[in-house]
C-alpha cells in the first residue's frame, strides 16, 4: 500500500502505522466467537488474511476482543506463551483489547444485556483486571507504546438510580486503577481503561462523561482512596488516575449524539481526560419529513433483534432519544411530525456513504480524521463495524476480509498527509 508509512520499532520491525505514529487495526468483535479456541481460529482465518491484504511485509496490530470465558482460558498455564508465539510467527501484535462485551455477542439477543455485568458488579472489575494483565503480557516492548482496554460507560442509564450507584461504579474503577498501577510498577507497561460513552448509558454525552470524571474519579477523595489501595501519595495517586483512566471516543456514538468533534476533543482536553483510543465507526443518518411512509418502510429491515440501536432525533424541538429503533419507528407515525433528522446507533461500513435511501455518518468521521491528522491525543485507532452479519442482506454481500481491508484503506487514505 503506497500510503503506508514505514516505521522501525525497538526490534527493527516495520509496523502498520499511519502518520504521527498512530497504530491502526480493526476490532475482532466482528467475528463470532466466545471461546478462546474460536478466537484463535478467527485470528488465523480472518486477521491473518486481512494482514496479508493491507500489511504483507510488516507487523499488523490486533484489536483483540475476549469474552470473560475466553480471557480465563487464555490466562491458563502455557496458553499465553503459546499465543505470543502464534502472534510472533504471523507478524501480529496486540495493543488494544475490547473489554466491553463480557459474554455472548453474536447470534442471539444482546440488546441492553451487553452492558452487564456493569461497573456496579464485582464481575466487571475481575474481568477488567484479567484483561489488563493479559494485555500487559502481550504488549510489545516498544518505547512509548501503551495499551488500552475499552469498557462499558459505567452502566445502562436505566440501571443507575442515583449518586450511590455512581459512587459504587467509581469505587470499582478506582480499585481497577490500583491493579493498573501495580502492573506498571511490576512490568513497566502502561495500560489505560477507556470508558466508552454511548447513547442511553450513564456516560452518554461528552458533558455527562466529563462531569463523572470530575465528581467521581478525579476528586481528592478518589486520590486518597487509590493511595490507600496502592500505597501511593496524593500527587502520585492523582497522576495515576489520569494516566490509567480515560475514554474510548467512538465516532458512531459521538455522531449519533450530535457531538461536534472539535468541541468534544476540546472538552476532554480541558478536563485532563485522556483518550485511550478512537473507534473508527459510522452510524445511520436518516432525514424524515412528516410521516414519510416510504422512508420508514425502508428503515424497518435495520430494526433487527440482536443489538440495541439507539436513536437520537434532532428537530425544532431539540433532541429526542429513543432506546431502540423499533420504539422510534412506532413514534414516527405521529400526526404532528415535522422535518427531523435521525442518527441511529447501527454500525454500518464506513466506506459505504449511501445505504439505499440513507447515508451513514461519514461526514462526521471525515471531520474527526482531519483533526487527528493534525495531531491525535491517542496512538490507537480501531475500526469497529461489528454488525456485518445483521445488516440487511444487500449491504453484506462483500467478503468480510475484502470489506475489512477496504475499511482500513479508507481510513489510511484520509489520515495520511
For residue 155, give the CATH number of its domain: 3.20.20.150
Percent of the chain clearing pLDDT 70 (strictly above) = 94
pLDDT for the residue 3: 33
**Does the residue 147 lie in any domain?**
yes
**Does the residue 336 lie in any domain?**
no
Contact 153, 209 (CB under 8 A): yes
pLDDT for the residue 289: 86
Residue 7 buriedness (CB in 10 A; 0-12 / 13-18 / 19+):
middle
**Does the residue 309 lie in any domain?**
no
**Does the residue 45 lie in any domain?**
yes
Contact 273, 210 (CB under 8 A): yes
Give the pLDDT confidence of 180-210 residue by residue, as tens digits: 999 999 999 999 999 999 999 999 999 999 9
Residue matched to cell numbers 435521525? 342
First to last CA, the chain: 15
Question: Which strands, in side-by-side order, build the sheet including 60-65?
Answer: 17-18, 22-26, 380-383, 274-280, 245-250, 191-195, 147-151, 92-98, 60-65
What is this structure's pTM? 0.95
**Does the residue 242 lie in any domain?**
yes
**Does the residue 185 lie in any domain?**
yes
Give the pLDDT confidence of 332-366 residue by residue, as tens digits: 976 567 899 999 999 999 999 999 999 999 999 99
Q: How far is it, in rounded angstroms, from Cα 96 to Cα 99?
A: 9
Tell me the chain's radius of gyration from C-alpha atoms.
Answer: 21
pLDDT for the residue 338: 82
Q: How far is it, in rounded angstroms, from Cα 24 to Cα 332?
A: 39
pLDDT for the residue 416: 79
Helix and strand counts by DSSP (H, E) for the chain: 15, 15
**Does the residue 310 lie in any domain?**
no
pLDDT for the residue 336: 66
- Give the structural domain span for 32: 17-281+362-415
pLDDT for the residue 335: 57
Number of domains composing the chain: 1
Q: What does each of the 417 residues of the chain score in pLDDT, given as a tens digit?
A: 233 333 223 222 335 565 568 999 999 999 999 999 999 999 999 999 999 999 999 999 999 999 999 999 999 999 999 999 999 999 999 999 999 999 999 999 999 999 999 999 999 999 999 999 999 999 999 999 999 999 999 999 999 999 999 999 999 999 999 999 999 999 999 999 999 999 999 999 999 999 999 999 999 999 999 999 999 999 999 999 999 999 999 999 999 999 999 999 999 999 999 999 999 999 999 999 877 889 999 999 999 999 999 999 999 999 999 999 999 999 997 656 789 999 999 999 999 999 999 999 999 999 999 999 999 999 999 999 999 999 999 999 999 999 999 999 999 999 876
pLDDT for the residue 14: 32
- Entry field: residues in the chain: 417
**Does the residue 25 lie in any domain?**
yes
Q: How far is it, in rounded angstroms, from Cα 380 to Cα 349?
A: 19
Question: Which strands, in side-by-side order, build the sheet including 340-348?
Answer: 318-322, 311-315, 340-348, 282-288, 358-360, 354-355
Amino acid at each position: 500500500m503506497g500510503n503506508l508509512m514505514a516505521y522501525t520499532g525497538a526490534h527493527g520491525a516495520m509496523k502498520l502505522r499511519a502518520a504521527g505514529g498512530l497504530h491502526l487495526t480493526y476490532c475482532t468483535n466482528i467475528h463470532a466467537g466466545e471461546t478462546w479456541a474460536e478466537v484463535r481460529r478467527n485470528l488465523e482465518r480472518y486477521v491473518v488474511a486481512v494482514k496479508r491484504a493491507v500489511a504483507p511485509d510488516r507487523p499488523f496490530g490486533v484489536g483483540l476482543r475476549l469474552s470473560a470465558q475466553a480471557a480465563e482460558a487464555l490466562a491458563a498455564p502455557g496458553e499465553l506463551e503459546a499465543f505470543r508465539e502464534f502472534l510472533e510467527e504471523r507478524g501480529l501484535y496486540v495493543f488494544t483489547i475490547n473489554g466491553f462485551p463480557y459474554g455472548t455477542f453474536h447470534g442471539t439477543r444482546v440488546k441492553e444485556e451487553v452492558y452487564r455485568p456493569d461497573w456496579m458488579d464485582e464481575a466487571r472489575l475481575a474481568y477488567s483486571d484479567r484483561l489488563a494483565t493479559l494485555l500487559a503480557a502481550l504488549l510489545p516492548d516498544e518505547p512509548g507504546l501503551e495499551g488500552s482496554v475499552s469498557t462499558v460507560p459505567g452502566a445502562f442509564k436505566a440501571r443507575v438510580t442515583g449518586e450511590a450507584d455512581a459512587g459504587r461504579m467509581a469505587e470499582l474503577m478506582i480499585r481497577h486503577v490500583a491493579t493498573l498501577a501495580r502492573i506498571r510498577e511490576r512490568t513497566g507497561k502502561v495500560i489505560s481503561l477507556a470508558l466508552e460513552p454511548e447513547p442511553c448509558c450513564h456516560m452518554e454525552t461528552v458533558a455527562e462523561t466529563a462531569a463523572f470524571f470530575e465528581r467521581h474519579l478525579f476528586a481528592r477523595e478518589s486520590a486518597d482512596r487509590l493511595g490507600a489501595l496502592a500505597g501511593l501519595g496524593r500527587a502520585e495517586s492523582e497522576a495515576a488516575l489520569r494516566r490509567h483512566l480515560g475514554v474510548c471516543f467512538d465516532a458512531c456514538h459521538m455522531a449519533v449524539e450530535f457531538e461536534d468533534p472539535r468541541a468534544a476533543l476540546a472538552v476532554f482536553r480541558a478536563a485532563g481526560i485522556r483518550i485511550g483510543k478512537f473507534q473508527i465507526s459510522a452510524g445511520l443518518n436518516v432525514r424524515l419529513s412528516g410521516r414519510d411512509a416510504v422512508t420508514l418502510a425502508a428503515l424497518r429491515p435495520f430494526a433487527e433483534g440482536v443489538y440495541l440501536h439507539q436513536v437520537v432525533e434532532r428537530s425544532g424541538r431539540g433532541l429526542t432519544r429513543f432506546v431502540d429503533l423499533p420504539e422510534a419507528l412506532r413514534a414516527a407515525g405521529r400526526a404532528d411530525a415535522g422535518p427531523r433528522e435521525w442518527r441511529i446507533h447501527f454500525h454500518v461500513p464506513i466506506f459505504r456513504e449511501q445505504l439505499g435511501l440513507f447515508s451513514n455518518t461519514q461526514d462526521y468521521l471525515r471531520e474527526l480524521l482531519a483533526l487527528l491528522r493534525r495531531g491525535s491525543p491517542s496512538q490507537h485507532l480501531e475500526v469497529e463495524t461489528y454488525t456485518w452479519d445483521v445488516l440487511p442482506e444487500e449491504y453484506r454481500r462483500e467478503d468480510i476480509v475484502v470489506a475489512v481491508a477496504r475499511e482500513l484503506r479508507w481510513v489510511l487514505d484520509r489520515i495520511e498527509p
